[in-house]
Amino acid sequence: MSTPQTRTPQEVFADHGRRLGTGDLDLISENYAEDAVFVTPEGVLTGRAGVRKGIGRLLADLPGAEWHLAPQFAGDVLFLQWTATDSTHEVTDGVDTFVFRDGLISAQTVRYTLTDRTA
Protein backbone atom coordinates (compact mmCIF):
# COMPACT_ATOMS: atom_id res chain seq x y z
CA MET A 1 0.00 0.00 0.00
CA SER A 2 1.20 3.53 -0.77
CA THR A 3 2.33 5.77 2.02
CA PRO A 4 0.11 8.85 2.45
CA GLN A 5 2.70 11.18 0.89
CA THR A 6 2.86 9.17 -2.34
CA ARG A 7 -0.85 8.69 -2.95
CA THR A 8 -2.45 10.65 -5.78
CA PRO A 9 -5.68 12.57 -5.21
CA GLN A 10 -7.48 9.86 -7.19
CA GLU A 11 -6.05 7.15 -4.90
CA VAL A 12 -6.99 9.10 -1.78
CA PHE A 13 -10.54 9.65 -3.05
CA ALA A 14 -10.96 5.97 -3.98
CA ASP A 15 -9.78 4.99 -0.49
CA HIS A 16 -12.09 7.63 1.02
CA GLY A 17 -15.05 5.99 -0.75
CA ARG A 18 -14.11 2.55 0.60
CA ARG A 19 -13.77 3.93 4.12
CA LEU A 20 -17.09 5.80 3.91
CA GLY A 21 -18.74 2.47 3.14
CA THR A 22 -17.61 1.13 6.52
CA GLY A 23 -19.27 3.93 8.48
CA ASP A 24 -16.22 3.92 10.82
CA LEU A 25 -15.66 7.63 11.52
CA ASP A 26 -12.20 7.10 12.99
CA LEU A 27 -11.10 5.12 9.91
CA ILE A 28 -12.63 7.73 7.58
CA SER A 29 -10.92 10.63 9.36
CA GLU A 30 -7.47 9.03 8.91
CA ASN A 31 -7.60 10.10 5.24
CA TYR A 32 -7.66 13.75 6.38
CA ALA A 33 -4.73 15.89 7.48
CA GLU A 34 -4.60 16.53 11.22
CA ASP A 35 -5.25 20.23 10.52
CA ALA A 36 -7.98 19.63 7.93
CA VAL A 37 -10.92 21.97 7.55
CA PHE A 38 -14.43 20.70 6.79
CA VAL A 39 -16.59 23.58 5.60
CA THR A 40 -20.39 23.38 5.57
CA PRO A 41 -23.13 26.02 5.25
CA GLU A 42 -23.51 25.73 9.05
CA GLY A 43 -19.86 26.56 9.70
CA VAL A 44 -16.27 25.35 9.69
CA LEU A 45 -15.22 22.18 11.49
CA THR A 46 -11.51 21.69 12.13
CA GLY A 47 -9.14 18.77 12.55
CA ARG A 48 -9.99 15.11 12.43
CA ALA A 49 -12.54 15.59 15.24
CA GLY A 50 -14.34 18.12 13.05
CA VAL A 51 -14.20 15.74 10.11
CA ARG A 52 -15.73 12.96 12.24
CA LYS A 53 -18.55 15.32 13.25
CA GLY A 54 -19.23 16.50 9.71
CA ILE A 55 -19.06 13.07 8.08
CA GLY A 56 -21.10 11.64 10.96
CA ARG A 57 -23.87 14.13 10.23
CA LEU A 58 -23.84 13.27 6.52
CA LEU A 59 -23.97 9.52 7.17
CA ALA A 60 -26.74 9.99 9.76
CA ASP A 61 -28.76 12.00 7.22
CA LEU A 62 -28.42 9.24 4.60
CA PRO A 63 -28.02 5.85 6.31
CA GLY A 64 -27.50 3.03 3.84
CA ALA A 65 -27.83 5.38 0.88
CA GLU A 66 -27.14 4.59 -2.75
CA TRP A 67 -24.67 7.19 -4.02
CA HIS A 68 -24.02 8.49 -7.54
CA LEU A 69 -20.80 10.48 -7.93
CA ALA A 70 -19.50 12.68 -10.74
CA PRO A 71 -15.90 13.59 -9.82
CA GLN A 72 -13.79 16.10 -11.75
CA PHE A 73 -10.12 16.26 -10.77
CA ALA A 74 -7.86 19.25 -11.49
CA GLY A 75 -4.44 18.63 -9.98
CA ASP A 76 -4.81 18.61 -6.19
CA VAL A 77 -8.46 19.72 -6.31
CA LEU A 78 -11.58 17.62 -6.78
CA PHE A 79 -14.99 19.07 -7.66
CA LEU A 80 -17.62 16.45 -6.84
CA GLN A 81 -21.28 16.56 -7.78
CA TRP A 82 -23.35 13.82 -6.17
CA THR A 83 -26.80 12.44 -5.50
CA ALA A 84 -27.87 9.95 -2.85
CA THR A 85 -31.05 8.09 -1.99
CA ASP A 86 -32.01 6.01 1.03
CA SER A 87 -35.35 4.53 2.05
CA THR A 88 -36.84 7.85 3.23
CA HIS A 89 -34.64 10.72 2.03
CA GLU A 90 -32.73 11.90 -1.00
CA VAL A 91 -30.21 14.49 -2.08
CA THR A 92 -30.25 15.63 -5.70
CA ASP A 93 -27.90 18.63 -5.43
CA GLY A 94 -24.82 17.47 -3.49
CA VAL A 95 -21.64 19.43 -4.21
CA ASP A 96 -18.29 18.94 -2.48
CA THR A 97 -14.84 20.30 -3.13
CA PHE A 98 -11.75 18.49 -1.87
CA VAL A 99 -8.21 19.86 -1.64
CA PHE A 100 -5.44 17.27 -1.34
CA ARG A 101 -1.99 17.78 0.22
CA ASP A 102 0.73 15.21 0.89
CA GLY A 103 -1.52 12.24 0.15
CA LEU A 104 -4.33 13.38 2.48
CA ILE A 105 -7.45 15.53 2.29
CA SER A 106 -6.57 18.96 3.70
CA ALA A 107 -9.87 20.69 3.02
CA GLN A 108 -13.40 19.74 2.04
CA THR A 109 -16.52 21.74 1.42
CA VAL A 110 -19.90 20.02 1.63
CA ARG A 111 -23.29 21.33 0.55
CA TYR A 112 -26.53 19.41 -0.01
CA THR A 113 -30.27 19.64 0.50
CA LEU A 114 -31.87 16.69 2.30
CA THR A 115 -35.48 16.15 1.21
CA ASP A 116 -38.11 13.48 1.70
CA ARG A 117 -37.79 10.81 -0.94
CA THR A 118 -40.18 10.97 -3.86
CA ALA A 119 -41.43 7.83 -5.55
How high is the pLDDT of residue 4?
A: 64
Q: What are phi and psi of 7, to 5 degrees?
A: -80, 140
The helix (run of H) or strand (run of E) holding residue 92 is strand 89-101
Residue 24, SS3 per DSSP:
coil
How high is the pLDDT of residue 90?
A: 96
pLDDT in tens, 95-115: 999 999 999 999 999 999 999
pLDDT in tens, 50-104: 999 999 999 999 999 999 999 999 999 999 999 999 999 999 999 999 999 999 9
Give the type of residue at 86: D
CA–CA–CA angle 41, 111, 5 (5° rounding): 105
Q: What is the mean pLDDT of residues 12-39?
A: 96
For β-strands 104-111 and 32-40, DSSP reports them as: parallel
How high is the pLDDT of residue 94?
A: 98
